[in-house]
């Protein structure tokens, strides 16, 4: 344990749930405890251990999580450099719903379902594909009312799915695919994505979709049907 007093430790590493704001847009969310920092846990789910008096650079500017030096604290805000702001937010239903697309280029609000119907936990090791409409900052170069596919950190075409799902060594028969799609995604697009995944060797029974219970602030996976 650190010899630092608790007040100083809290100043160096702000505990709680934080939204990172860049140019008015929430780009990442963080949960910081006395032992873990989790970034965008509902989308990319990056988690690492923390040590005493650690606070990390936001991943939008430095993916290696260097120790943060240039920052200022003011009540429920942390200002980083000249343009990046962390805001401490309540972990309520509204925050839960907004966090489901944080870190993505797309707006995604998965369908609602009773928690007892989850078939797998969301943190299951899987290959993930994201489907939704574009966030505001991308509307100038693509169509706002269309649904797009995101693979890793880029907007992809339907034809990119073949290479994406066959890029692993060995067969895909035992691998799990997760479709993290908005609840209003056209059925034809979902069906086409599923057919493309199956064509690369995945079993129908191993293709899951993200579902949520926003009242309980939980999410899980159910088989695509």
State the Cα–Cα distance between residues 165 and 127, nearest whole angstrom: 8
Of 71, 99, 127, the position where a domain reaches its end is: 99
Domain limit, last residue, from 67, 99, 131: 99
CB 93, CB 214: distance < 8 Å:
yes
Are both 89 and 183 inside the same structural domain?
no
Q: What is the pLDDT along the chain (225 residues), one digit of tens a residue?
A: 344 344 434 455 677 888 988 777 888 888 888 788 888 888 887 787 766 555 554 444 444 444 455 667 777 887 776 667 888 898 899 999 999 999 899 999 999 987 678 999 988 889 999 999 998 755 556 566 789 999 988 999 988 998 898 866 667 888 999 999 999 999 999 999 999 999 999 999 999 999 999 989 999 999 987
Q: Are residue 178 and residue 118 in the same domain, yes or no?
A: yes
Three-state secondary structure call for residue 99: helix
Residues 208 and 114 in one domain: yes
**Domain check: are 123 and 74 in the same one?**
no
Structural domain boundaries enclosing 202: 106-223
Give the separation between CA 79 and CA 98, rounded to whole angstroms.
21
Determine the Cα–Cα distance for residues 129 and 154; give it in Å rounded to an integer: 11
pTM for the whole structure: 0.81
Please indicate, yes or no, if residue 1 is contained in any of the structural domains.
Answer: no
Smallest CA-to-CA distance from 22 within 70, 65, 82, 72 is with 82
Give the three-class secondary structure for 9.
helix
The answer on 132 and 205 residing in a single domain is yes
- Whether 76 and 122 share a structural domain: no
Q: In this structure, is residue 212 part of a structural domain?
A: yes
Place of tokens 């007040």: 7
Which of 99, 133, 154 terminates a domain? The answer is: 99
Number of domains comprising the chain: 2
Would you say residue 71 lies in a domain? yes
């Amino acid at each position: 344990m650190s010899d630092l007093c608790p007040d100083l430790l809290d100043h160096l590493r702000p505990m709680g749930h934080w939204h990172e704001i860049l140019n008015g847009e929430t780009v990442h969310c963080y949960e910081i405890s006395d032992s873990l920092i989790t970034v965008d846990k509902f989308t990319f789910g990056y988690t690492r251990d923390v040590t005493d008096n650690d606070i990390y650079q936001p991943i939008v500017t430095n993916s290696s999580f260097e120790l943060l030096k240039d920052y200022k604290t003011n009540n429920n805000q942390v200002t980083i450099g000249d343009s990046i702001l962390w805001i401490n937010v309540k972990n309520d239903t509204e925050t839960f719903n907004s966090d489901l697309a944080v870190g993505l280029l797309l707006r995604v609000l998965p369908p609602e379902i009773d928690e007892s119907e989850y078939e797998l936990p969301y943190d299951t090791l899987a290959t993930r594909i994201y489907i939704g409409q574009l966030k505001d900052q991308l509307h100038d170069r693509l169509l706002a009312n269309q649904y797009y596919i995101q693979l890793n950190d880029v907007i992809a075409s339907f034809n990119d799915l073949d290479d994406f799902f066959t890029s692993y060594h060995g067969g895909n028969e035992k691998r799990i695919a997760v479709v993290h799609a908005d609840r209003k995604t056209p059925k034809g697009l979902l069906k086409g994505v599923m057919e493309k995944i199956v064509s690369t060797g995945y079993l129908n029974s191993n293709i899951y979709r993200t579902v949520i219970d926003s009242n309980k602030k939980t999410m899980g996976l159910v088989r695509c049907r």
